[in-house]
Structure 1
Amino acid sequence: MPKARAEKRSRRERRGGGGTGTGTGILFNTGAGQHILKNPLIVNSIIEKAALRRTDVILEVGPGTGNLTVKMLEKVKKVIACEIDPRLVGELQKRVQGTCLANKLEIKVGDVLKTDLPFFDACVANLPYQISSPFVFKLLLHRPFFREFALRLVAKPGTKLYCRLSINTQLLARVDHLMKVGKNNFRPPPKVESSVVRIEPKNPPPPINFQEWDGLVRIAFVRKNKTLSAAFKSSAVEQLLDHNYRIHCSLYNTEIPENFKIAEKIQTVLKNTGYSEKRARSMDIDDFIRLLHGFNSEGIHFS
């Protein structure tokens, strides 16, 4: 009897990677963020709020068994579905096989974070939780969720969830929180509540060197409740900015005094810009733009 149980468990593990079973015979790998949106009312609401057009090419990440995919195929020119799990790819292919929708579906098998994004007009997806943050950055920098993550995207300065993700996303896009989605709308139910957000990239993007911007914001938000004066006293930060400053001076043939100390120059910039006692948690995009300009004008760079 123990042997039979072991063999059954082995087959289950091979099929689903330790996930949760469903009526489809597939074990979803919840550890990889596989939670299938099952409520048709939520699916229809997402599609309605996405304002899809007949001419749109849609990018979908993690289509699962295709509940959202099929509905979109009925309304748009094409859906490009990116799926890393070959089992779900097979299920999705079977779902549209022999229908008029099959020619409108393109499936890319693999890790969407490691591949170049195709051309698309809009991205509509029940995004796997584990890749939500890196994928949003990849999406926003591309040119031709769980609930707390969604709320971080729209968080404002001074609020608890305001963070580097908030300000970076809002720098590059207009973000709207559309609706909450309860955990019971998924199969299997995740452990957290979800939200639907709309992210519309700003076009054209702001004229800012994003590497410089993100370097500054990263330092400021490591300890967002500290004053910037304290945050910039980290030895690692001082070493990085000293290295960058010396490269800048070399490129522009600027002589560096023998008694030069980067720590003093950093604090001078913070004081002169008026941000020495400010905290990242309460600073908005305009604040960081002014601060970045203040550093750059003194030859201090973050990329």
Structure 2
Amino acid sequence: MGKAKTSKRGGAASGPYERPAKQAAANNVFKFSKDFGQHILKNPGIAESIVAKANLKPTDTVLEVGPGTGNLTVKILEQAKKVIAVEMDPRMAAETTKRVQGKPEQKRLEVLLGDVIKTTLPGFDVCISNTPYQISSPLVFKLLSLPNPPRTCVLMFQREFALRLTARPNDPLYCRLSVNAQFWARITHVLKVGRNNFRPPPQVDSSVVRIEPKLGAERPNISFEEWDGMLRVCFNRRNKTLRASWLGNKEVLSMLERNYRLWCATNNIPVDDTIAEDGEDDNDDMEVDENVPPSAGDEAEWGGIMDVDDAADDTPSFFKELKAAGNEVPKTKSKRKKTRVALLVKEKVRKVLEDVTELADHRSGKCDENDFLRLLAAFNAEGIHFS
């Protein structure tokens, strides 16, 4: 009897009932890009909930940032008049277009290829986005700074970023981001989304927030650059007292002096640039609470996963021994002579913190919006500006 024929390993199937060879990327159209933060929302129930939270009208034009393969886009098109989808990846833009090709919705979808932060956006009523983590903060403030901001924004972020947006004074996550965002909009947390609802799953959970920009008379009538410039100093170390943040930092005082000189020059106000005599500045060696540990809200811009590496203590042993023995480490005196205008600026800051606002011993993490408004108004009244 002859031997049965056997197919060679890795060869093509020789009959209609044999299994085809497995391929590594059989179920993937293409690889997802980590550079673009591509995590596709695969749960249709979550997509429906996000669209429902936007309270769309049949006449609304919706801006979607990062549509991916269009899972959220098709849900929005069911309720809105038009969708403007902004996508960085040409492959994803093609996938989104394919979803509505040959359907009535095709005429109501406009896909813009490019970076949403750098793109000049057309007019729209609502923004809905499964936001890439790395553009979370820039996207929020781009939307809030538009001349005609949208009625509502329903955005999905990394969960910790979302909690920072909604944090209030005394909350451990309360930071400059919290104050800025809540000053220009009403923000509410609406939905928590587990990491397993995405493909591929991210390393962290996500949350959906609703942002309703303040419009008309509610919109603050102050410069965002100046407001944010003051908050940068306050939240440099949120657990320090405001006295230490402003008067205990030579770089901050130098910056205020430069700004004051510019303001005086703009308003034709002469400044006293003579050198101050020794002993004229009685508070030169002011004690500051440097032992307060940095807080999680100290970063200038925060968006995405934050990796913190504990740096080794490189302090020389000589200084460690002095500190252990209770002796003060000798300070090197500055070679730069102080001018009277520098002392004037320092006195103005002291007056604002101690006499006018009485916030010198307060900490930024415990101050609310009204405290910061009083602080800005008092600084401006003394000719100190931040933009």
Partner Cα separation in structure 1 for residue 146 and residue 49 of structure 2 = 26
Give the structure 1 partner of residue 236 of structure 2: 222
Which of these two proteins has the greater Rg computed from alpha carbons?
A: 2
Give the structure 2 partner of residue 248 of structure 1: 263
Query: 1:86 is matched by which residue type in structure 2?
Result: P
1:212 maps to which of 214, 223, 226: 226
Give the structure 1 partner of residue 251 of structure 2: 236
After the TM superposition, which residues 42-53 of structure 1 pair with which residues of structure 2 at under 5 Å, given as runs?
42-53=46-57
Give the structure 1 partner of residue 143 of structure 2: 139
Partner Cα separation in structure 1 for residue 63 and residue 48 of structure 2 = 17
TM-score by length of 2: 0.71
Q: Does 1:293 align with 2:377?
A: yes
Q: Does 1:161 align with 2:173?
A: yes
Query: 2:265 is matched by which residue type in structure 1?
Result: S
Query: 1:296 is matched by which residue type in structure 2?
Result: N
After the TM superposition, which residues 47-196 of structure 1 pair with which residues of structure 2 at under 5 Å, given as runs?
47-144=51-148, 145-196=157-208
1:268 maps to which of 321, 327, 351: 351
Instruction: Pick which of 57-66 and 139-148 moved more.
Output: 139-148
Partner Cα separation in structure 1 for residue 351 and residue 271 of structure 2 = 16
How far is 1:33 from its partner?
Answer: 1.1
Query: 1:242 is matched by which residue type in structure 2?
Result: E
Instruction: Pick which of 233-242 and 83-92 moved more.
Output: 233-242
Cα RMSD for the two superposed structures: 1.5
Give the structure 1 partner of residue 299 of structure 2: none
Change (3 A) 1:21 1:244: farther
How many residues align? The count is 284
1:186-227, CA deviations, whole angstroms, 9 ceiling, x for partnerless residues?
Answer: 111111000010001000221111111000001111111111
**Contiguous gaps of at least 5 residues in structure 2:** 1-23, 149-156, 275-339
Partner Cα separation in structure 2 for residue 219 and residue 112 of structure 1 = 29
Q: Note if contact 2:36-2:88 (Cα within 8 Å) is conserved in structure 1.
A: no
SS in 2 for 1:222: coil
How far is 1:22 from its partner?
Answer: 8.3
SS in 2 for 1:287: helix
- Tell me the percent identity: 55
Partner Cα separation in structure 2 for residue 263 and residue 174 of structure 1 = 36
1:280 maps to which of 352, 355, 364: 364
How far is 1:115 from its partner?
Answer: 1.4
SS in 2 for 1:200: strand
Q: Note if contact 1:22-1:188 (Cα within 8 Å) is conserved in structure 2.
A: no
TM-score by length of 1: 0.90
Q: Note if contact 1:62-1:126 (Cα within 8 Å) is conserved in structure 2.
A: yes
How far is 1:278 from its partner?
Answer: 1.1
Q: Note if contact 2:186-2:212 (Cα within 8 Å) is conserved in structure 1.
A: yes
SS in 2 for 1:190: coil
Partner Cα separation in structure 2 for residue 23 and residue 62 of structure 1 = 22
How far is 1:118 from its partner?
Answer: 1.7
Partner Cα separation in structure 1 for residue 26 and residue 182 of structure 2 = 38
Q: Note if contact 2:59-2:81 (Cα within 8 Å) is conserved in structure 1.
A: yes
How far is 1:21 from its partner?
Answer: 6.5
Query: 1:108 is matched by which residue type in structure 2?
Result: L
1:54-83, CA deviations, whole angstroms, 9 ceiling, x for partnerless residues?
Answer: 100001100000000011011101000000
Q: Note if contact 2:64-2:73 (Cα within 8 Å) is conserved in structure 1.
A: yes
How far is 1:24 from its partner?
Answer: 4.1
Query: 1:274 is matched by which residue type in structure 2?
Result: E
Query: 1:251 is matched by which residue type in structure 2?
Result: T
Q: Note if contact 1:244-1:300 (Cα within 8 Å) is conserved in structure 2.
A: yes
Change (3 A) 1:148 1:249: same
Q: Note if contact 2:187-2:212 (Cα within 8 Å) is conserved in structure 1.
A: yes
Q: Note if contact 1:219-1:237 (Cα within 8 Å) is conserved in structure 2.
A: yes
SS in 2 for 1:125: strand
Query: 1:147 is matched by which residue type in structure 2?
Result: R
1:222-270, CA deviations, whole angstroms, 9 ceiling, x for partnerless residues?
Answer: 1111111111132221121111111222233333344231223212211
